[in-house]
Structure 1
């Protein structure tokens, strides 16, 4: 019986996929897997039996990846499951950045109880004039599932779209409109575009990419949208740009204290993936990922271990997480040969400092000899 612990509320649409060999709940000891959304695991005690953590969402900043890797715990996320939800909110942000809708609504509220409200609205609405987005240039930094969806939608809205991503995947490239222009550098985005939207992950290279130096390269009156990660933006530099009139509007889904209630800044309470459809999609994907790993050893959409997705062909499957160092496969083969165990299939892939090997056999195998090998982190035999 596999034990799955829930650290957040997970959509029943996903949980219903657990059947038979699973015990699922919030109160659980020695769990085999964890399903999580926003709860932090940085101080969470990772028990020796824990094999996998699935994050029902894209970002994994709430999970201690290095510690999980050291202990052989596979961490999954659900890329693309919330892409449409975030795309729709980004499009909303584009309109809010131009048309002063929020400011206009707040002003109308101030007229409550005034019998001349209709006349005052007609007289005062000119203060909320804003440009249309059709024909304007939009720069998309980061062309994953969300960035590509935003770029394609903006093309359909009549915008001229520039995309930048030095690590774009083949699938993303295939899914992107041919009308999206390839920006070879971020500087092209900064200097050319009227609107800039961020969809990059938070890394050493991307943290603080919207800063004073890059803002200086931008057009006067640029509008910036951040629905990716709060730390992609240097908030103080953005606020200064807003105060100086360099930035016409900053729209973000991240309510950091320094930007709340500032003129020409609209802060949305992290609603990007807050739709029932998105929550269902993320739950389904997370459950399928963790089930596939526990039941067959396959790894798909892991952020800390390589992808291996092989159909089962034998009675037993040996799953080995180990350091990415020379001679490991030879050691595995020698160990099995000494026990007169035949290898029917072997697959090995590496990711950074760690590697993952699946060995298939029809012979009974124990794990003690594998555990005794140096640089082996975790071993399972699935029958």
Structure 2
């Protein structure tokens, strides 16, 4: 695997990759866009930080790219949607710099409140002034944390240690988490109206861009303290500068900017403002954090190489990692079922339904659905399909994908059923695990019980004496060995379904001969290249 590193990434963190003989890594820093576009086609992985923009042009030029590894939390420099459409996995390191960002928030807040930077500059200039640098305490203040994720939660804990009352706003956080942190969940407007200190810790998205603007700033208390150590652009910067100039905001601390390095007059005005304490995007800049994020993305690349689950892929649905050992056999089962089921359908499917019954229905099954969808679509489209782009490809093809769950599974502790519909036909296949291995237990309305093998033959015919003998005779004549046979029928002398496991592929001529001899209403050779007989 060829990897290109385009931004400064800690060498200690890349050691895992350097030690792996399967990996060839090139570190190419400071490349101009045209230079990178000319090179990227040779690489399967790009490791970046915030200095490289992974946009449509780059992704189109990256013909062999399998993964974008962002050594940090933010992914606003990566066009994730377009990467997904190309089947490119995007991973980040959401936890490696968590502590660093939280500590920098507190450092910037304390420096701003106690005038550390200006007092330091004054004293170094030979002055001895104290009165101009009188500060404010955190004790007794009401602090509002917007975004109570990994960083925001740590900031909230530290603010409480300084004896602040902490309010928080995060629509995606459970009340229990806020309770565990000892903070109160409130609305955005309550944060703006009630808090003496407001600090933001959300990602930059369409939803959060410009989230705090002129309206929100006007709602705040006079003399409020505002902090942004998250992402530039979450706070509307022209509105922030106006609020600083008119005295609405007493103190601000800013580490991140909508343009980096800052060049506009507005940003230069903020940086120069005497009551704004600033740093050049240093939230993640500790030695420990730089090593942590590099290690995290290196582990994800090795997980990809070893075909292990990815913990921090932003465009793949994933299980709670604590459940992965339990769910891995089901990933294999649904992959086998999809591979088998699509070969029974003529033409493209129009609707696909994944049903989960039994204990498995208590859990999030979306990764199973996407895995099965990828296996199924891989048989019917020319492009590469994986868990990244499977849902998007299905949508583009007009395929309806549904998922149903029930905790009742009759005779099975867990049962997965796949229904594929198209051209007026409907194919049903159900599977279960036996000692961790996948087995097919139902085809259409027939109860079956067989382990999928690489080569199989399935046929329907009218049940009458001598049919099995005819099939065996033809197979023997063509030296095709039958490994096992499973028979299902709706009633005596009704329609029968036979599935044969065979040692080698069956030619079309043999299929036609069996069809004529048995007067089969349906016959299909199945090739299961994806079969795994062990979990």
Matches within 5 A, 1:1-383: 2-18=1-17, 19-26=20-27, 30-38=42-50, 39-42=52-55, 43-45=57-59, 46-110=61-125, 112=126, 117=127, 121=128, 124-168=129-173, 174=177, 177-183=180-186, 185-255=187-257, 256=262, 257=264, 258=266, 259-308=270-319, 310-311=324-325, 332-335=339-342, 349=366, 356-357=370-371, 371-374=378-381, 377-379=384-386
| Kept in 2: contact 1:332–1:370 (CA 8 A) | no
- Structure 1 residues 336, 269: closer, same or farther in 2, change over 3 A? same
Give 1:98 deviation, angstroms: 1.4
> Using the alignment, how far apart are the partners of 1:287 and 1:175 within structure 2?
32
SS of 1:24's equivalent in the other structure is strand
Extract structure 1 runs of 4+ deviating beyond 6 A: 316-320, 380-383
> Using the alignment, how far apart are the partners of 2:382 and 2:158 within structure 1?
48
Give 1:333 deviation, angstroms: 3.4
| Kept in 2: contact 1:292–1:298 (CA 8 A) | yes
For this pair of structures, how many residues does the alignment match?
344
Give 1:160 deviation, angstroms: 1.0
> Using the alignment, how far apart are the partners of 2:365 and 2:291 within structure 1?
33
Question: Mind listing any 5+ residue stretches in structure 2 that lack a counterpart?
Answer: 29-38, 346-359, 388-529
- Structure 1 residues 102, 109: closer, same or farther in 2, change over 3 A? same
Give 1:370 deviation, angstroms: 5.4
SS of 1:378's equivalent in the other structure is coil
| Kept in 1: contact 2:153–2:181 (CA 8 A) | no
Give 1:20 deviation, angstroms: 2.8
SS of 1:232's equivalent in the other structure is coil
SS of 1:67's equivalent in the other structure is helix
Q: What are the Cα deviations for residues 18-64 of structure 1, in whole angstroms up to 9, with x where unaligned?
A: 21322222367532222111221224244332211111101011111
SS of 1:266's equivalent in the other structure is strand
Q: Relative contact order, CA 8 A, sep 6+: which one is greater?
A: 1
> Using the alignment, how far apart are the partners of 1:223 and 1:375 within structure 2?
56
Q: What are the Cα deviations for residues 76-121 of structure 1, in whole angstroms up to 9, with x where unaligned?
A: 11112101111111111211221122222233344x3xxxx4xxx2
TM-score, with length taken from structure 2: 0.58
> Using the alignment, how far apart are the partners of 2:366 and 2:25 within structure 1?
31
Question: Mind listing any 5+ residue stretches in structure 1 that lack a counterpart?
Answer: 321-328, 339-345, 360-366
> Using the alignment, how far apart are the partners of 1:142 and 1:23 within structure 2?
39
| Kept in 1: contact 2:3–2:47 (CA 8 A) | yes
